[in-house]
Amino acid sequence: MRIALLEDDADQAAVVSAWLQSAGHTIKHFSSGRSFLRDVLRDSYDLLVMDWVVPDMDGVEVMRRVRQSSRNYTPVLFVTARDQEDDVVKALGAGADDYMEKPLRQREFLARVNALVRRSAAGVGSDDLPDSSPYEIKTQQKRLVLRGEEIDLTHREFDLAIFMFRNAGRVVSRSHILESIWGMHGADLNTRTVDTHISRLRKKLKIGPANGWQLSAIYQHGYRLERTDTIEA
């Protein structure tokens, strides 16, 4: 999973990042509220892990702005040393999905992370298939079938199709797609690769009203695959 971490304590950030990376997640760390906001409002993540007390902005205010401006819902795990009931109520009321007190315990923290992502995906786990009808996904054979006819896809195109169906309804950034499908990070990113493959996938899958899906480019952000109201006969 792709996770954004807001934590100004360098030692704490290093520990949490190491835990998440050891569990197979990709982490992007921010030490200030403004830098965090600039990134998460234009990029996409599977989870936001946020501290309360950070330089330049109150963590709760950062979360409010995320909730007000987000193009799609991303779960938030609030992590802080503040443990009064009023603090918990305030954080949850501002939009947090879960709340943990410091000091963190590794196993509990990772369990909370996994639970939040499962919940946001409406119960679709990493090994489960999304509802992609009228497309039929055969993961073991890496095949995708439309109305009984197999679609000729490369392995990369198949992986991209699965990724988009699993994130249906969400805006996913080009860098998110590149990291998840190609394993590219930072300076290695070439977003034209995504545009080319998305265009090819749209044509091969015949995505459109006739098949009940729409794949749209979202200006300066990425792509969104979503169902349309009806499937044409």
CA geometry: angle 12, 67, 110, nearest 5 deg: 35
The pLDDT of residue 232 = 52
Rounded to an integer, the average pLDDT of 162-169 is: 91
The percent of residues in the chain predicted with pLDDT above 70, rounded, is: 90
CB 3 within 8 A of CB 77: no
Residues in the chain: 233
pLDDT at residue 233 greater than cutoff 70: no
Helix, strand, coil percentages, rounded to 5, for the chain:
40, 25, 35
Per-residue confidence at 223, pLDDT binned at 50, 70, 90? very high
**Domains plus CATH for the chain?**
2-120 (3.40.50.2300), 135-227 (1.10.10.10)
**Per-residue model confidence as pLDDT tens digits over 129-161:** 678 999 999 888 889 999 999 999 999 999 999
Considering only residues 121 and 81, tell me which one the structure prediction assigns the higher pLDDT: 81
Which are the contacts of 142, defined by CB distance < 8 A and separation ≥ 6?
Answer: 153, 155, 158
The pLDDT of residue 206 = 96
**Per-residue model confidence as pLDDT tens digits over 95-118:** 899 999 999 999 999 999 988 887
Per-residue confidence at 126, pLDDT binned at 50, 70, 90? very low
The pLDDT of residue 230 = 58
pLDDT at residue 202 greater than cutoff 60: yes
Q: Cα–Cα distance between 85 and 204 in angstroms, integer?
A: 53
**Per-residue model confidence as pLDDT tens digits over 11-27:** 999 999 999 999 999 99
The pLDDT of residue 159 = 93
Rounded to an integer, the average pLDDT of 78-104 is: 88
Q: Cα–Cα distance between 47 and 1 in angstroms, integer?
A: 8
The percent of residues in the chain predicted with pLDDT above 90, rounded, is: 59
**Per-residue model confidence as pLDDT tens digits over 48-72:** 999 988 888 888 899 889 888 766 6
Per the prediction, the chain carries an average pLDDT of 88
